[in-house]
A = this chain, B = another copy of it.
Amino acid sequence: MKTLTVDLGDRSYPIFIDSGLLNNESVWGSYIKKKGNVVIVTNTTVCQWYLNPLESAVSRLGYKVSSCILPDGEQYKNLDSFNAIMTFLLEHNCGRDTTLIALGGGVIGDLTGFAAASFQRGVDFIQVPTTLLSHVDSSVGGKTGINHPLGKNMIGAFYQPQAVVIDLDCLKTLPERELAAGMAEVIKYGIIWDADFFSYLEKNTPSVWNLDNEVVSEVVYRCCSIKASVVHEDEKEGGLRAILNLGHTFGHAIETYKGYGVWLHGEAVAAGIVMASHVALGRGSISTEEFERIRDLLIANRLPVSKPEEMNTDDFLKLMVHDKKTLNGRIRYVIPDCLGRASVKDDLTQSEISAAIEA
C-alpha cells in the first residue's frame, strides 16, 4: 500500500492507494467517529459494484450504516442533490457525530464534501474516489462544491476530509471514456510541474490502459504528490494553486455551453490544454515539437484536442467571464512557461485567444 500525507496543519489527512482497500476494515476503523452514524453517499452506477463490500466492511466494525443513492451524472451536481442529502441525513436522525463517506467519482466527492461542510455547519467525511479523474484530482485539495446553471462549481467550500481511500480495483469497471478523461488531468500534472513525469507517461500510456497495477499506482501517487505540494503552499488558492487549472478556463466554457455531462470534464480540459498550449507556442514558451508532444499524448489517450465545432470565440468569451479566476473583469488563463512549468496570465490579447480557440 502506498500512503501519502497531505500536510495542512490540524487539517492534515492521509491518502491510501492500493487494490482491495474497500474490504480492508483496518482502514475504516481509524477514521470514523466512535458511536456516530455512517452515511455512504453514492450513485446508481457505482452502487452496483462497490456499495455492498463497503457497507459490509463498515458494518462489521459495529457502525450503523445507511446509504443515500443519487442519480449518476454531472447534471445532478446541483442544489437539488445537495438538498436531497440534507433531507436524508435529517430523516435518519443524523447528528454532528455523523461521518459521510463519498463513494464515487468527482461529482459524488464534490457534492458530498460540500454536504459534509454544511450539514450542521460541518461533519466528518471520507473520500472513496472510484474514477481515475477523482483519484488524481479530488483526492487532494479540499475543494468541494456544486454547479449553478450560470457556472460550474460556483457554490462550495474549502473543506478537508479525514482520509482518502483509493481502491485501484475500482478502475476495472470504469468506462474507457472516463479513463481517458482521467488521463487528461494526469497529463496536466506533467505539463505544469514535472517534465520527467510527462516522459514517463509517454512511455507508459499502454500500461495505464492495461491497468497494470504498478504503473497505475505510480501514476496516481505522483499526481497526488504534485497536487499535495501545490496545495500545501496555497490551500485557499491565493496564487500558485491556480496553475492546477491549466485548460480549465477554456474547458469550463465548453462544459457549460454543451450542458453539464455532455462533454466529460476531462475531455473539455484536454481541449482546453491544447488551447493554452497554443498560446504558449505563439509566445515562444514551448517549441513546436513540445506542442506536438502534448497534443499527441492527449490523442494517444483517446482525448479530444479541439473545440466542439458549433462553438465560436464569442461563445467562449461570454462564458469565461464567469470563471472564478476572473479578477476585476479580466479573464485569467493558466499558460505553460515551458514543458514542466506554468503560470497565470491575464494579458492575453483578443487575437491570441481566438487563434487558440479556432486552431
Give the CA-CA distance A145 to B117 in the complex, in Å.
12
Structural contact, B155 and A95, CB atoms closer than 8 A: no
Task: Give, as a whole number of angstroms, the nearest-CB distance from A88 to chain B.
Answer: 10
* Cβ contact of A329, chosen from B86, B91, B93, B143, cutoff 8 A: B93
Contact with B along A74-113 (1 / 0, CB 8 A): 0000010001001100110101110000000000000000
List the B residue with the shortest CB-CB distance to A330: B95
Structural contact, A95 and B326, CB atoms closer than 8 A: yes
Structural contact, B155 and A87, CB atoms closer than 8 A: no
- Decide if the interface of chain A is mainly helix, strand, loop or mixed: mixed
A119-B154, A119-B155, A155-B118 known; A328+B90 contact, CB < 8 A:
no
List the B residue with the shortest CB-CB distance to A322: B90
Interface size class of A (residues with CB under 8 A): 35 or more
Structural contact, B117 and A157, CB atoms closer than 8 A: yes
Structural contact, A156 and B121, CB atoms closer than 8 A: yes
List the B residue with the shortest CB-CB distance to A148: B86
A154-B86, A156-B118, A157-B157 known; A324+B95 contact, CB < 8 A:
yes
Q: Confirm or deny: A158 has a beta carbon within 8 angstroms of a beta carbon on chain B.
A: yes
Structural contact, A96 and B324, CB atoms closer than 8 A: yes
Q: Confirm or deny: A150 has a beta carbon within 8 angstroms of a beta carbon on chain B.
A: yes
Give the CA-CA distance A120 to B96 in the complex, in Å.
25
Top 4 A-B pairs ranked by shortest CB distance? A90-B150, A121-B156, A120-B324, A118-B155
Given known contacts A97-B327, A120-B156, what 11 new A-B pairs fall within 8 Å (CB)? A35-B328, A86-B154, A87-B148, A90-B148, A90-B322, A117-B157, A118-B157, A119-B155, A120-B154, A120-B324, A121-B158
